[in-house]
Amino acid sequence: MNKHLKNLELFLKSSNFYKGIRLSFAVVTPFVVLSLLGYSQFAPAIVVGAFLNAPGDIPGSLKRKVNAILISIGLTMLITTIILFSKTYFPILLFSMAIISFIVSLISVYGFRASLVSFSGLLSMVIAFAIQKETAQEILTHVGLMGIGGLWYLLVSYTFQKLAPQKDKNQLLSDTLGLIGKYLKLRAKLLTKREEREALMKQALVLQTQINEKHETLREVLFTGRKRSGRSHYDEKELLIFISSVNIFELVEAKHLDYHEIDRIFSDKKHHLKASKNLNKVMGNHLIKLAELLIQNNKLPNKDSLLKALSNSNEAIAEYIEEVKLPKAREGALVLKNLYDYQELLLEEIRAIRRVMANVENASKVSFKRQDASQFLTLQEYNLNVIIQNLSFNSNLFRHALRFTVAMLFAFIVGTILDIHNTYWILLTIIVIIRPNYGLTKERSKDRIIGTFIGAAIAIAIVLLTQNTIVYGVLAIISLTLSIALIQQNYKSAAALITINIVFVYSLINPNAFEVIQYRVIDTIIGAIIAIVANYMLWPSWEVNNLKNVLVNALKKNKSYILATKDLYHEKEKNLLAYKIARKEVFLAISNLNAAFQRLTQDPKSKQKEFELIYNLVTLNQTMVSAIASIGSFIMNHKTTPASQEFDVLIEKIANTLQIASEQLEGKNPEQQNDEKTIKEAEETLLKTFEVLSKNRDENIEKGNTELHTDTLHHLQEAYLISNQLTWLKSLSENLRKATESYSQVI
């Protein structure tokens, strides 16, 4: 019961629910006020204008949000005008529909915010079919009132943001910490759940993509939202929590362990890993709790469980050495020590978040140059060349725009010929459901149909209980608020609530509610079928054909990342910013690769060609990033010895292998390097460095010098990590080259 109450509290305090209230206020207020003043005839157009221009109101910089809504207002007014004037001339109407559908859907090439503006434009086209205006004066008056409604929504949005300026940012930070907490717990399972690793790794890919998406949005919100006059106390806190979340994510990524080696070393000693596993679980749960507190504003949880779990993890190292004995225990002890050091760093970042949330004095002080911050932003180009470059069948979005246009025209023509009641409901279903890839379209179609049936069933039950129009009006407002709040979290539930909303809104106009429900269900099914068939039959975009460029980008970013790590090892202070930028770019590249793979898994089985090979490429790229991150993380958090020539030789070899792999995919003829002897010597030298340090340590133990100095331990850890990780990275890069060679031959 307490859990359900907590979840309800989190939902009611969430920015998603706040957005639902914001839209409901913007829609209901003009209707109520104008009705009371005796101008109710103007209300529908203003309400439609407010509703149509809400989609572009998403978290981000205020400037981009305002620009998106203003562009949306202009676009919806233009499209409504064209459709209303064209309705009396069927051929012209079809031509207008085709041009609008194609051009407006192609706006999505400018990114996610643009895709929502595009959705507003397409939605206005469909709603225009439900509007009955005959004369030019009526049409222009209606369009003008729509523009007023759009500006009204902009004013409402701006006011609500000023009333709760931290709402969106806190929600994003909360979502991010919650996802990282889940990711930490999943990584704990990977340590010992040998049989479940493949399934867990696939779950990890999804979480990594979601975390990277949240981080990208937070960069825009936090870095572009800063005032020239400086940051407020809240800005400082949010920025510090964000930085810690990025550091935690990188640390987690840096410990993508060689699980085969773990299994080999701890084959019959898995119980020594339990303390490390438990610490990850405790930290993950603590992050989830902190995520909830960002919304709830309750007291911080006690940190004793964290400190106890860390202490147990440290004691597990001594217990392992005691049981296995040195020197045999050295390799396993170093693995446990490296794991402990990484978890200790994680705990420090979690405690940093705690200090910020507790308003500890001097906790919210951060120095970040404006020019440095701008380098972390992923800028979207808005020039005409972006659309021109996409006017090709090689472009996924071009094929989607074409497919969408044909589906819309087909549905409209069939609806007109068969005289289907409310044909625009079919068009509305297509707009909401159809996506560039088949899998997501199919998933949304299923959720939409199920949600519509559920909503219709609930609406029927309510209609049987009462025919009170006041009850219908109240339910229409509540269902609208909840549907907007849930549309990103649970599309099936949102679809049910949208159906309830539409039924009761129409029931206020048409007393025969059962007729409204019947047509709503039938039209939704027809629209969903058209969307699925169109995606499958018309210029289909199977993800297997879109992977090449994503893979090439991931390989290139991996190469840049490992070279940035090399520079970091040589001069830490000078190259730290460049390293962090390279890290951010490779994380995004891998996130895009993970997302592409997830879309591939949603395609029909018959279209998932070379699935195992592609999965191998995805996991190899992911493992490369983690292996590189483990070196970078160690360098940043420890005092290191000067980088050796052998280190540089191996890094250059790995970078060259990645270059060859990317050129193979691009269809080039890469130059092969015949330097195997030099590479082998570099590997042996690095390994010998560790062996010499180990031998010296053994000799000291034999002499009775059992105390291990911190510097000696760090040198042992460094030598072991560098030697093992570079050998592993070399092997991974070779495997990547072979896999890309096989894949390039297939494609």
Quick count: other Cβ atoms within 10 Å of Cβ 224?
A: 15
Mean pLDDT within 283-303: 87
Q: What is the pLDDT of residues 24-53, one digit of tens each?
A: 999 999 988 998 888 888 888 999 899 899
Alpha carbon distance 660, 734 (integer Å):
10
- The conformation of residue 89, written as its DSSP 8-state character, comes to -
Angle, helix 62-86 to helix 90-106, in steps of 10 degrees: 160
By residue count, the chain amounts to 747
Q: What is the pLDDT of residues 198-213, one digit of tens each?
A: 788 888 888 888 888 8
Q: What is the pLDDT of residues 394-453, one digit of tens each?
A: 888 888 899 999 999 999 999 888 887 778 888 988 988 888 888 888 888 888 889 888
Q: Is 326 helix (H, G, I), strand (E, B) or coil?
A: coil
Please give the pLDDT value at position 227: 46
Please give the pLDDT value at position 78: 95
Please give the pLDDT value at position 716: 60
Please give the pLDDT value at position 72: 94
Q: How many CA atoms lie within 13 A of 393 on its CB side?
A: 3
Share of the chain above pLDDT 90, in %: 16
The residues near 640 (Cβ < 8 Å, ≥ 6 apart) are 569, 572, 634, 718
Q: Which of 581, 68, 106, 54 is nearest to 391 (CA)?
A: 106
Q: What is the pLDDT of residues 155-177, one digit of tens each?
A: 999 999 889 888 888 888 999 99
Please give the pLDDT value at position 403: 92
Looking at the chain, the number of H-run helices and the number of E-run strands are 28, 0
Give the position of tokens 């949010």.
238
Q: How far is CA 46 from CA 34, 36, 295, in A?
A: 10, 15, 33
Q: Which of 16, 505, 587, 18 is nearest to 256 (CA)?
A: 587
409-414 contacts at long range (C-beta below 8 A, 24 or more positions apart): 409/94, 409/97, 409/98, 409/101, 410/530, 410/534, 411/526, 411/527, 411/530, 412/94, 412/97, 413/94
Indicate the helix (H) or strand (E) that contains 738.
helix 710-746
**Domains of the chain by range and CATH?**
1-164 (no CATH), 168-374 (1.20.58), 403-538 (no CATH), 545-746 (1.20.58.220)
Q: What is the pLDDT of residues 304-357, one digit of tens each?
A: 888 898 888 888 888 878 777 777 777 777 778 878 888 888 888 898 888 888
Please give the pLDDT value at position 745: 78
pTM of the model: 0.81
